Structure 1
Amino acid sequence: MSLFNKRKPLVGLDIGSSSVKAVELSRSKKGYQLTGFAWESLNPDIVVDGAIMDAPAMAASIRETLAAGKFKPKRVATGVSGHSVIVKRVVVPAANSDEVEASIQLDAEQYIPFELSEVHLDYQVVGPSTTTGDEPGMEVVLVAAKRDKIHNHTNVIGLAGRRPEVVDIDAFALQNAFEANYSVDENATVALLNIGASLMNINITKRGMPLFIRDVPVGGNQYTDILQKELQLSFQEAEDLKLGKNGGTEAEMVQSLLESITDMLCTEVQKTFDFFRETYPRETINHVFISGGTSHMHGLAAKIQDTFGFPTDVLNPFRSIELGPKVDAAALTSLGPSLAVAVGLALRGWNDD
């Protein structure tokens, strides 16, 4: 599902709050092949609360990322998420798919907490259903993204000399990456958690369609922040300590501080899972996959599994994707799950749906 039409080939460009990730895929006999990838860190003041505050600096970072990856395609697929994006499964009064669009245009205001003039609307039909009044209806996944959020991203891509061909939703891109790499029972309900520096995208999906999507403003920055504050460290010192690059005599205190943030993160996941159960009382989550830069945190997957009792694994976005001859496998291994959304975005150039 995307907000603009798609063509191929595309570079999947994931613009995060702490880094820019880019991926290019090509078709292969077995499915897909990774042609190239690149990653560049961002200064912390370029993106604040999900908004690009310094467009020229962001455009420069995008140019550097794309140059580092030696990407040839001018067309780019990017994604948006956060409080400016709404994704809901709703039942609209419509007897068939042809009547859905008219019904959405008529009733969208009751589902979207924004002025309709401020958003771009899109939808995907799930199938026939009934309304609360037992009238014939169609269940749809309804998407609304604020136009200024979309422009925020497309503007810097244009400044970087590329063409923003697709604007998708990060949670959808995450699902694309998962489905390209994993096969699960059609009746399985899977929770996908993409945990970045400042935002966690949660997509609970079944049979190739999202059941429940939520973006939570928590992520790896919380680990860094608490280390900075409690141990009087610089940002980089705290980052290194978070990733286990520096030890020292305060190891026990550091571990305690990191665990406190992991507990907080699990509390936010718990809130989402509780809300999901209230919305879909007959559904049970069968498996959890985590991705994003914060999935590298030692013991995080095990903690989530112990807390909720669901099998939990770190998502490998290249599990079923061949590596091209020019790909640096060692560098790719170190990034791995951080590239999940970028992989999903790159797939927009090849997906038929």
Structure 2
Amino acid sequence: MKPFLAIDAGASNLKVALFEPQENGTLILAHYEVVSLELRGLEETDRTDLLKEKLQELFDRNEIRPKGMQANICAPSFQCFTKFLRTPAVEGSKVGQIVQYEAASQVPFPLDEMEWGYEIMGTADTGELDVMLMALKEEVVESLTTACNDLGIILSVMDGAPAALRNAYMHNYAEVQGCSMLLDIGSKTTNVIFIEGDGFFIRSVNFGANSITQEFAKESGLDWAQAEEYKKAYGYVHMTNMEEPADAYQAILVRTARNVMTRLHQQVSQTIQYYRSQQGGQTPQQIYLAGGGSSLHYTAEFFMEKFNLPIEFFNPFRNIEVGQGVDKQTLSTNAHWLGELSGLGLRMTTVGLTEFNLLPKHERISLQIEKRSLYVVAAVFCVGLVFFAQAIMNIKIASTQSAAAEEIKGEFSQVASLAGQISDGTIRLGKAKESSAKMERALESRYYWINLINGIQGVLSKVEPGVYIVTQPNELAAITNRVDELIAQYEVNNGAKPGNVTNVQTAIWIQSLGPNMPTITVAGSGGSGGSGMGGGNAEPGMGGGNAEPGMGGPPPGGGMGGPPGGGMGGSSGGQALSTAPLEPIDTIYLKLRAKNIVNPKPRETLNREYSQLLEKLFREHEMFSNSETDTKVTSGGFNVDSDVKWFDFVLQLKLTSPIIMKDPELN
């Protein structure tokens, strides 16, 4: 078997390995190299020329001739979209149909602009199938393909970084029992990967080690390149019992590193809670650190202190032979951020792995033709022999023409019979399509409510656990970015910066959801309110402490977790959807209870502004009408005393797709 390449086109580093497959199915790592893409890799939208330039320099430096070599490549995590689904346990192509329907609603871009695939990861306790969906935008796929093809490289597999990491772990740590967590800290993205037996779950957090460089550069006044170089030379995570460095730049750096790692710890903790509560997983018993961001000094000690769990660096070459030309001492210090290369290499020799291939369809067909070229040559030779034999037999054709004519007549009758069969088959196909359409409507109706609740939850999560209070202009803004990013966006939109921006803690939960307008109970002074307030100072949905901008948790926190008696179909106001009317429902009413915003309170209209912010966010969501007359706040008790803890209001939501409660054709 010929040597092949594994290429990890990461956000800030390009990593390339040369593997030599053996006859017994094992791999030898013959060579590897890591090349920095610097700031261009993080900022350039089209990275084709950059990747081609760096690959060519690497091949020239190592005297590698890439033309005609096969390669497996993976896209970085920040360009991958991954989603985990549960589908009914059906067989064959029906799984693909259901996943395609789910993908159309889950992937944030049109499917015809994506290359996507799915893998069945196992079966849940409910009997449903656990499915992993992965997608890449077409321009990302085209960029990686062009960069390799222009150098003569033949791409065999295009994977995503999360799947490659999972494959590397499964091959090298197959004997590990229980639940393990692989924490892959990259430049722009951190992957939190849970592996429990054959079970697999991942959540990507949209910040990584580059956040340390950016924040340090901003506070110190250095440019990005200077800040990155200083971080690599003098950076570490400041521990609780350490004294602050005497050097002013280093003091800023280590403090910044600890702040970023603290935010990352909060995100990981929320992800663990989500994995346990929503995916039915166990608490991790072991944490493996991977990625270049985990190389910062004292990162392992920091997470060991926070999680009180065994921590070790991931070794993706634990069960892969290392060649004599590789410096084993150097490899032992940086192997933990080469996991994707290991996973890509194993795709050539190992079965039973996650087998995504997001190459364009025409590339996969070309690859199959390439692999079967020997068979094509043999076929051409056989055809030549046939023609040669035919030439010899031409002298006998004249004497057999009469018999051939009779034979042709018989064949015509067979063709007529086949035409009749095709006609019957066409009729049966039409009936099958009609039946399939009815089944598709049934499947859509099954999942519509889940998507509706997820859509509402997604909007509510943008205004909890906090919002920004903006002055000049006076309004509230969702905490989805840092303060400096929000101010910059206001300056772009309005031509001037806002007068002031502060943040305030919020809480919100659902009182009722139904097709009829609910009533509003206006809270009085000092009272504990209607149903849903449990007394005391505890407030449902509040995470505790000050909300930190940009740190929105995973879905289980906040919005949908209402108090007893509230939630879907609760008794506090409104009418639950308990019966199924025959008429379609195109408008629903959402009764909400929110924390009274009293501290700080620079103006009296904050409660109303809070409801108007929600109104705006619902109009921007694809499931609801963007018309001001269709999606709006219809009523509410906004002007409540400062000692009242909550206020109620009602949102009218016009659905872009009406709810079909009962379809007589499906009876």
Normalising by structure 1, report the TM-score. Answer: 0.84
**1:38 and 1:171, CA in 2 relative to 1: closer, same or farther beyond 3 A?**
same
* Residue 107 (structure 1) shift: 4.3
Map residues 185-204 of structure 1 onto 2, 5 A cutoff.
185-186=176-177, 188-204=178-194
Deviates more, 1:147-156 or 1:93-102: 93-102
* Residue 31 (structure 1) shift: 4.1
Larger radius of gyration: 2
Residues 1-34 of structure 1 show CA distances to partners (whole Å, capped at 9, x for unaligned) of xxxxxx9753111111211001123345794321
In structure 1, which of residues 80, 93, 96 is the aligned counterpart of residue 91 of structure 2? 96
SS in 1 for 2:282: coil
Aligned partner of 1:60: which letter? E
Matching of residue 17 in structure 1 with residue 11 in structure 2 = yes
| Aligned partners of 1:8 and 1:349 also within 8 Å | no
In structure 2, which of residues 205, 208, 230 is the aligned counterpart of residue 241 of structure 1? 230
Aligned partner of 1:125: which letter? I
* Residue 64 (structure 1) shift: 2.0
**1:129 and 1:258, CA in 2 relative to 1: closer, same or farther beyond 3 A?**
closer
Normalising by structure 2, report the TM-score. Answer: 0.47
* Partner residue, 1:142: 133
**Which contiguous aligned blocks of 4+ residues in structure 1 show a shift greater than 6 angstroms?**
none
Mapped to 2, the partners of 1:52 and 1:225 lie a distance apart of 18
* Residue 171 (structure 1) shift: 0.7
Map residues 60-139 of structure 1 onto 2, 5 A cutoff.
60-71=53-64, 74-82=69-77, 84-97=79-92, 99-128=94-123, 137-139=128-130
Mapped to 2, the partners of 1:268 and 1:70 lie a distance apart of 44
Structure 1 gaps of 5+ residues are: 1-6
Number of equivalences: 339
Residues 277-322 of structure 1 show CA distances to partners (whole Å, capped at 9, x for unaligned) of 3312452222211111111111112212222233221112222322
Aligned partner of 1:58: which letter? L
| Aligned partners of 2:187 and 2:210 also within 8 Å | yes
Relative contact order, higher structure (CA 8 A, sep 6+): 1
SS in 2 for 1:326: coil
* Partner residue, 1:220: 209
**1:153 and 1:102, CA in 2 relative to 1: closer, same or farther beyond 3 A?**
same
Residues 242-272 of structure 1 show CA distances to partners (whole Å, capped at 9, x for unaligned) of 2345887334443223212221222232232
**1:326 and 1:338, CA in 2 relative to 1: closer, same or farther beyond 3 A?**
same
Mapped to 2, the partners of 1:127 and 1:181 lie a distance apart of 21
| Aligned partners of 2:25 and 2:349 also within 8 Å | no
Matching of residue 259 in structure 1 with residue 250 in structure 2 = no
**Sequence identity percentage:** 24
* Residue 275 (structure 1) shift: 2.5
| Aligned partners of 2:2 and 2:21 also within 8 Å | no
Mapped to 2, the partners of 1:75 and 1:52 lie a distance apart of 26
**1:46 and 1:330, CA in 2 relative to 1: closer, same or farther beyond 3 A?**
same
Mapped to 2, the partners of 1:127 and 1:224 lie a distance apart of 40
* Partner residue, 1:169: 160
| Aligned partners of 1:216 and 1:268 also within 8 Å | yes
**1:338 and 1:185, CA in 2 relative to 1: closer, same or farther beyond 3 A?**
closer
* Partner residue, 2:347: 348
| Aligned partners of 1:59 and 1:156 also within 8 Å | yes
Deviates more, 1:244-253 or 1:19-28: 244-253
Map residues 150-165 of structure 1 onto 2, 5 A cutoff.
150-165=141-156
| Aligned partners of 1:91 and 1:138 also within 8 Å | yes
Mapped to 2, the partners of 1:213 and 1:34 lie a distance apart of 27
Aligned partner of 1:56: which letter? D
| Aligned partners of 1:12 and 1:347 also within 8 Å | no
* Partner residue, 2:652: none
| Aligned partners of 1:22 and 1:37 also within 8 Å | yes
Mapped to 2, the partners of 1:183 and 1:198 lie a distance apart of 29
Deviates more, 1:168-177 or 1:136-145: 136-145
**1:241 and 1:310, CA in 2 relative to 1: closer, same or farther beyond 3 A?**
same
Residues 332-351 of structure 1 show CA distances to partners (whole Å, capped at 9, x for unaligned) of 23432221112211222222
* Partner residue, 2:455: none
* Partner residue, 1:56: 49
**1:152 and 1:47, CA in 2 relative to 1: closer, same or farther beyond 3 A?**
farther
Aligned partner of 1:315: which letter? F
SS in 2 for 1:44: helix
Mapped to 1, the partners of 2:38 and 2:207 lie a distance apart of 19
* Residue 137 (structure 1) shift: 4.4
Greater share of strand: 1
